[in-house]
Amino acid sequence: MPHFDVRNGTPFGYESLVLTDEDGVPQFVTLVQASFAIGPGGLMPLEEQPAPNLAGDWHGDPAQASPRLEAQIAFVKPGTDVVLLGHAHAPSPAAIEVAVGIKVGPVSKVARVVGDRFLVRRGGATVISPPQPFERIPLVYERAFGGWDRRDPDPGRHRCELRNPVGTGFRVDTLRGDDEVRMPNIEDPERPFRAYGDTPPPVGFGFVAPNWQPRAAFAGTYDAEWDRRRKPLLPSDFDRRFFNAGSPGLVAPGYLHGREPVVVIGASSEGRVVFELPGLAPPVCVVALRGRKNVPVTTNLDTVVVDMDRRLLTLLWRGHVAVRNGPHDVIAVDVGAVAAA
């Protein structure tokens, strides 16, 4: 990207990038990120504020793992993603399950997290073994229902759970049962895994990859008509909800604004953590374009990440403005101070 001046008048991290919209129009995207330590006395801004992570991060090999932090591929999100990172903490040394959940304003989700279990064959029947006691279990999609069934000798007949290809427990019920299959640790308390071949909804609190369902369905139809009339643009039925990467149930209907109460259960040694989102107004970004035109960019709080392992709260505001000739149109960016909402 060409060099331009960035005058950041906030204490927070800033990054920018250029993406294209549905019609191929370049969009200059501003990202302002505020990070806070979650302490016993409330929230404290970090002295060193990290910049937004544009490339993303994964829980292992990106080709085979769930995303820990999303890659920044969206010029806009229709609503706020709420993400919980960390581990489920057992309430006692001999515990075999715990309820884990998060509530941020109008958005909430609770899961049942149980110790390791397996589908095992006993006396000709396939049964679920009792859960084992645990201390901590990572809150990752690898521990939710999903995964691949690659038992068929024909690779063309291998199947996966499209809602969570990195999970565990998925089996095609027309094939003979395995001797032992690892069961999901994280599940919906209203719809748990019941028996061999069951397909309960995968349950998670993290970011969802772009190629997972139901997110992938919002990407539109890439058929012969698209190839003839729209390629390389996005399909005409592309839905901007594709850009939201929060787990099902953790995408707000619109944007959060700050001062929403936050409650996290089961993801820390104390069991319950309560605080309030900072009351910060959206940052004001003014983009100076060639021709001496200054364009104020509206930003929205579209990502909230609560990392209970690091005791870190991250807020991300995003805005965009069309730059018809690409990044060469941008001369400077002024990021205004964030005031109390």
89, pLDDT greater than 80: yes
- Residues 301, 249: Cα–Cα separation, whole Å: 18
Tens-place pLDDT, residues 100-121 = 999 999 999 999 999 999 988 7
> pLDDT at position 179, please?
66
The partner residues of 121 in beta bridges, in order of sequence, read 126
Q: How confident is the model at residue 147 (pLDDT cuts 50, 70, 90)?
A: very high
Most confidently modeled of 152-161, 190-199, 258-267?
A: 258-267
- Residues 163, 48: Cα–Cα separation, whole Å: 37
> pLDDT at position 99, please?
98
> pLDDT at position 3, please?
77
Enter the pTM of the model.
0.94
228, pLDDT greater than 70: yes
Q: Which long-range contacts (CB under 8 A, 24 or more apart) does 35-40 make?
A: 35/312, 35/313, 35/314, 35/315, 36/278, 36/312, 36/313, 36/314, 36/315, 37/311, 37/312, 37/313, 38/273, 38/275, 38/306, 38/308, 38/311, 38/312, 38/313, 39/311
> pLDDT at position 7, please?
94
- Residues 19, 243: Cα–Cα separation, whole Å: 12
> pLDDT at position 173, please?
76
> pLDDT at position 338, please?
61
Tens-place pLDDT, residues 50-60 = 999 999 999 99
Q: Is 225 helix (H, G, I), strand (E, B) or coil?
A: helix
Of 105-114, 244-253, 292-301, give the lowest mean pLDDT range. 292-301
The partner residues of 168 in beta bridges, in order of sequence, read 145
- Residues 34, 51: Cα–Cα separation, whole Å: 9
Q: For residue 203, which of 277, 142, 244 has the smallest C-alpha distance? A: 142
- The rounded mean pLDDT for the chain is 93
Rounded average pLDDT over 270-288: 95
Q: What are phi and psi of 43, to 5 degrees?
A: -100, 140
Residue type, 140: V
> pLDDT at position 1, please?
59
Rounded average pLDDT over 23-34: 96
Q: How confident is the model at residue 187 (pLDDT cuts 50, 70, 90)?
A: very high
- Residues 163, 149: Cα–Cα separation, whole Å: 14
Cα Rg of the chain (Å, integer): 22
Q: How confident is the model at residue 124 (pLDDT cuts 50, 70, 90)?
A: confident
Q: How confident is the model at residue 2 (pLDDT cuts 50, 70, 90)?
A: low
Q: Which helix (H) or strand (E) holds 227?
A: helix 224-229
